[in-house]
């Protein structure tokens, strides 16, 4: 059969609320044109993030009831530890309340002034945690990954040559670890090939630098390897995922993505001293090492989710349904990062709205219009999220002005997505009339979460 259907039945439903155009215009104004400041009850289709928004399975809910809430030595922790260890092969498994808590602990220990961290592309919280420690974050995305319209199988790959030059220039002592983010969220949700992971590992090993995986979307990445990389078509996704982890010395994970849960994360490392230091910090900031900021029930749900996410029927549906939205967008003339990534479609706002310059935030214009027209919430990934100011106050923009429509896992059906396409078609017909925005209030770090905007006339 050509039709790839949702590999589940719906047992429990949550109503969504319809609003009028006038109501949405008022909501936008009250939220200072920042989607993060809109109340979720005013959103019809919420594509703000795929993080923590998954629908859990009946087995995960059963696990929630079965969670062992003992403070120390909980049975649920040992199940969680076994599942994560079997998957990653890593020695020390340290639960945290979400991904950034794992990052905070890791970079508090290995970061600090003078240290430099390379990554294919740091996700915003990863970069913030590196910088918060006093260290500097550097991105080494391959050249193809920087061209939104160019097609490529593994546009999330790291530029291995540039990495080696960087290591030679800075010296091993300044680089406590190298990281690869799979899939590459900020680079368009694009996968990283096994070959690239292996090549990066070889360079890191040559200079004695540990390699870490930001593993949030490891299963989606593994499925892309199965689909696209020679030699992997006949391997199970679990085997592929295990091979990915076999090259690394540690990982951070936000379980809110590919563990199909609403909260949770972990840090996993091989190094005994690093693990000891991490656990010491965990006790101060998160909790005792057998729960680390989570309830026993959360650990059960993560353990179950990590098994379910590797089911190939699920991954086939997941990757196909994201590609479906991408294909429809292309058909109606919306330029997107090609090919569609694993968890989201990224609109190229620079190309869609060429009359709005980067310092007037074209991505924010798309975000606000999709909400205004159809109650769809998404997020800008461009100058709002990554813009920095030069000493003369001028905005330094990132290379791309994107808008991300992230697809929550197992939440929306094809008719929801068809509605998104219809609303987007209306946006395309009005694109010349859209105007930019200016920021009237912003925080010094991660400004996109709280910044306030005003539309330009
Ligand atoms: C690639 C990547 N790393 C890290 C994080 C941070 O995870 P969390 O939101 O659980 O703190 C995210 C979240 O979106 C992410 O996409």
Nearest CA owner, ligand 1 atom 7: 99
Question: What does 287-354 look like in DSSP terms, one character per residue?
Answer: --TTTTTS-HHHHHHHHHHHHHTT-HHHHHHHHHHHHHHHHHHHHTT--B-SS--SSEEEEEHHHH-T
Nearest CA owner, ligand 1 atom 9: 99
7/1 Cα distance (integer angstroms) = 14
The SS3 of residue 199 is helix
Q: How confident is the model over 393-401, as a mean pLDDT?
A: 91
Residue 181 alpha carbon, nearest atom of ligand 1: 1
pLDDT at 445: 82
Helices (H), 270-311: 272-285, 296-308
CA of 430 to the centre of ligand 1 (A): 34
Is the pLDDT score of 388 beyond 80? yes
- Cβ 38 under 6 angstroms from ligand 1: no
pLDDT at 400: 87
156/153 Cα distance (integer angstroms) = 9
- Cβ 189 under 6 angstroms from ligand 1: no
Phi, psi values for residue 14, rounded to 5°: -125, 120
Element (H, E) at 345: strand 344-348
Residue 101 alpha carbon, nearest atom of ligand 1: 11
Q: Which residue has the tokens 């068809």?
A: 418
The SS3 of residue 175 is coil
Query: Looking at the DSSP assignment, which residues form a beta bridge with residue 118?
Result: 138
pLDDT at 48: 97
Question: Tell me, what DSSP letter sits at residue 133?
Answer: T
Is the pLDDT score of 188 beyond 80? no
**Tokens of residue 192, six digits:** 């990283």
Is the pLDDT score of 187 beyond 90? no
Confidence band (pLDDT; 50, 70, 90) for 119? very high
**Tokens of residue 411, six digits:** 């939440």
Cis before 325 (ω within 30): no
Residues 22-77: pLDDT tens digits?
999 999 999 999 999 999 999 999 999 999 999 999 999 999 999 999 999 999 99
Confidence band (pLDDT; 50, 70, 90) for 399? confident
């Amino acid at each position: 059969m050509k039709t790839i259907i949702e590999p589940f039945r719906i047992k429990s439903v949550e109503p969504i609320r319809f609003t009028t155009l006038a109501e949405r215009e008022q909501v936008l104004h009250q939220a200072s044109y920042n989607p993060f400041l809109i109340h979720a009850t005013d959103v019809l289709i919420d594509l703000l993030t795929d993080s923590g928004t998954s629908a859990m399975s009946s087995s995960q809910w059963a696990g929630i009831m079965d969670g062992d809430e003992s403070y120390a030595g909980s049975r649920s922790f040992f199940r969680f530890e076994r599942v994560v260890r079997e998957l990653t092969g890593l020695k020390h498994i340290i639960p945290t309340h979400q991904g950034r808590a794992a990052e905070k602990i890791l970079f508090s220990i290995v970061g600090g002034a003078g240290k430099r961290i390379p990554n294919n592309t740091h996700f915003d919280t990863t970069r913030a945690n590196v910088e918060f420690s006093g260290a500097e974050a550097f991105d080494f995305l391959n050249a193809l990954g920087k061209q939104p319209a160019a097609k490529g199988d593994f546009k999330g790959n790291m530029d291995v040559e540039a990495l080696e030059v960087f290591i030679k220039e800075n010296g091993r002592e300044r680089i406590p670890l190298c990281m690869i983010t799979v899939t590459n969220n900020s680079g368009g949700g694009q996968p990283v090939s096994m070959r690239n992971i292996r090549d990066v590992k070889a360079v890191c090993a040559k200079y004695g630098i540990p390699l870490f995986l930001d593993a949030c979307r490891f299963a989606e990445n593994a499925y892309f390897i199965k689909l696209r990389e020679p030699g992997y078509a006949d391997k199970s996704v679990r085997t592929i995922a295990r091979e990915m982890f076999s090259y690394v010395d540690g990982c951070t994970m936000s379980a809110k993505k590919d563990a199909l849960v609403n909260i949770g994360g972990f840090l996993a490392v091989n190094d005994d001293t690093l693990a000891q230091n991490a656990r010491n910090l965990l006790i101060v900031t998160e909790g005792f090492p057998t729960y680390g900021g989570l309830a026993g029930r959360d650990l059960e749900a993560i353990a179950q989710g990590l098994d379910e996410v590797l089911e190939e029927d699920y991954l086939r549906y997941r990757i196909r349904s994201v590609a479906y939205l991408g294909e429809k967008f292309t058909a109606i003339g919306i330029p997107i990062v090609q090919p569609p990534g694993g968890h989201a479609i990224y609109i190229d706002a620079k190309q869609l709205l060429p009359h709005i310059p980067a310092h007037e935030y074209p991505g924010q214009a798309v975000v606000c219009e999709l909400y205004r027209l159809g109650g769809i919430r998404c997020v800008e990934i461009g100058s709002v999220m990554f813009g920095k100011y030069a000493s003369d106050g001028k905005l330094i923009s990132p290379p791309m002005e994107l808008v991300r429509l992230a697809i929550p896992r197992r939440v929306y059906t094809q008719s929801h997505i068809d509605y998104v396409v219809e609303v987007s078609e209306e946006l395309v017909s009005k694109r010349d009339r859209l105007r930019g925005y200016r920021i009237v209030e912003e925080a010094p770090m991660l400004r996109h979460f709280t910044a306030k905007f005003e539309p330009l006339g």
